[in-house]
């Protein structure tokens, strides 16, 4: 397998994740050529004019000459694109995705032709903003870069993917797809659901008092930030990890119900215990 510096990388999707990947590879002069594929002609023109990619097109067939094909689109779009990518990819090409859930993608990758090398990936470095204008070359720096190899993924392909993540400044970690999806349901998908629910609740309260958002300050801004995430992306995440997300919501609902009961009962001891059990590990986690 050739080194990345001699490889042609095709990036399918030039939004936040794909655009940032292209910028990072270009800034580091990490590969031979970068091909960009996006449905929006204006985006293709933008990345070409800025010299971010060497070629750009809205046609997936541009990826047929690539050594590495990276699918940086929403999860259900990745699932739709994989069969076509399998048809056009050259023999020995590595097919990697950057999707936020992994089980359905890995299952779909198992059906790819034998002459390609698939591996799932999920860099944990997104933002609530989307599109190429939100992309930045250092997005992957210091991020955890999860790799979910298939049973058919060759050891050389896994090693290449690890070095690919390292070149971006990220920290690769290998996980089973099912374990990955269970973990991210709690630390990524549940926080979005809570932020969205917070906005839904406060919107309802604001209809009763129009001063509500006037008084909202940094705490509300920080807590509600994820509610502004791209809706299509988040729908794909929730619907392809529905069992784990639902379990996390139910666990959270149980804790919220207990908290509400203790507040109504003015049970100071119980409240102090639960608040301290939350505060202490949070302080330790992000010193």
- pLDDT of residue 128 exceeding 90, the answer is no
Q: What is the pLDDT of residues 219-275, one digit of tens each?
A: 999 999 999 998 988 999 999 999 999 999 999 999 999 999 999 999 999 999 999
HEC-encoded secondary structure of 77-107: HHHHHHHHHHHHCCCCCEEEECCCCCHHHHH
- pLDDT of residue 1 exceeding 80, the answer is no
- The answer to whether domain 4-175 and domain 180-285 are alike in fold is no
Fold of 180-285: 6-phosphogluconate dehydrogenase C-terminal fold (1.10.3660)
Residue 126 has what pLDDT? 77
Q: Which helix (H) or strand (E) holds 55?
A: strand 55-57
What's the pTM value of the predicted model, to 2 decimals? 0.92
- pLDDT of residue 178 exceeding 90, the answer is yes
* Class of residue 208 by CB neighbours under 10 A (exposed 0-12, middle 13-18, buried 19+): exposed
Task: Compute the radius of gyration of the chain from its Cα atoms.
Answer: 21
Residue-wise over 27-45: b if at least 16 C-beta within 10 A, else e?
eeebbebbbbbbeeeebbe
Domain ranges of the chain: 4-175, 180-285
Under a CB-based contact definition with an 8 Å cutoff, are residues 37 and 60 in contact?
Answer: yes
- pLDDT of residue 127 exceeding 80, the answer is no
Fold of 4-175: Rossmann fold (3.40.50)
Residue labelled with tokens 């998908």: 189
Phi/psi of residue 97, each to 5°?
-120, 170
Q: Quickly state the pLDDT bin for 155 (edges 50, 70, 90).
A: very high
Q: Which residues pair with 137 in a beta bridge?
A: none
- Proportion of the chain above pLDDT 90, given as a percent: 92
Residue labelled with tokens 């215990």: 273
């Amino acid at each position: 397998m050739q080194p990345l510096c001699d490889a042609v990388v095709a990036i399918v999707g030039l939004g936040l994740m794909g655009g940032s990947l292209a910028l990072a590879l270009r800034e580091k002069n990490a590969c031979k050529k970068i091909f960009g594929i996006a449905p929006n002609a204006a985006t293709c023109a933008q990345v070409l004019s800025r010299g971010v990619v060497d070629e750009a097109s809205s046609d997936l067939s541009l990826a047929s000459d690539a050594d590495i094909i990276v699918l940086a689109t929403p999860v259900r779009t990745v699932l739709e694109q994989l069969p076509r990518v399998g048809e056009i990819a050259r023999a020995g090409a590595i097919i990697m995705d950057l999707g936020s859930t992994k089980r359905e993608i890995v299952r779909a990758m198992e059906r790819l032709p034998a002459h390609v090398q698939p591996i799932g990936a999920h860099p944990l470095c997104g933002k609530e903003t989307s599109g190429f204008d939100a992309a930045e070359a250092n997005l992957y720096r210091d991020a955890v870069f999860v790799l979910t190899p298939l049973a058919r993924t060759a050891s050389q392909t896994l090693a290449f993917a690890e070095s690919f993540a390292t070149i971006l400044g990220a920290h690769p970690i290998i996980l089973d797809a099912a374990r990955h999806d269970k973990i991210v349901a709690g630390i990524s998908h549940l926080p979005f659901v809570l932020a969205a629910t917070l906005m839904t609740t406060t919107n309802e309260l604001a209809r009763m008092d129009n001063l509500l958002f006037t008084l909202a300050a940094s705490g509300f801004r920080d807590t509600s930030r994820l509610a502004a995430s791209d809706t299509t992306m988040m729908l794909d995440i929730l619907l392809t990890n529905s069992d784990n997300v639902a379990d996390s919501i139910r666990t959270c609902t149980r804790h919220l119900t207990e908290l509400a009961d203790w507040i109504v009962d003015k049970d100071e001891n119980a409240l102090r215990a639960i608040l301290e059990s939350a505060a202490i590990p949070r302080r330790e986690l992000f010193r």
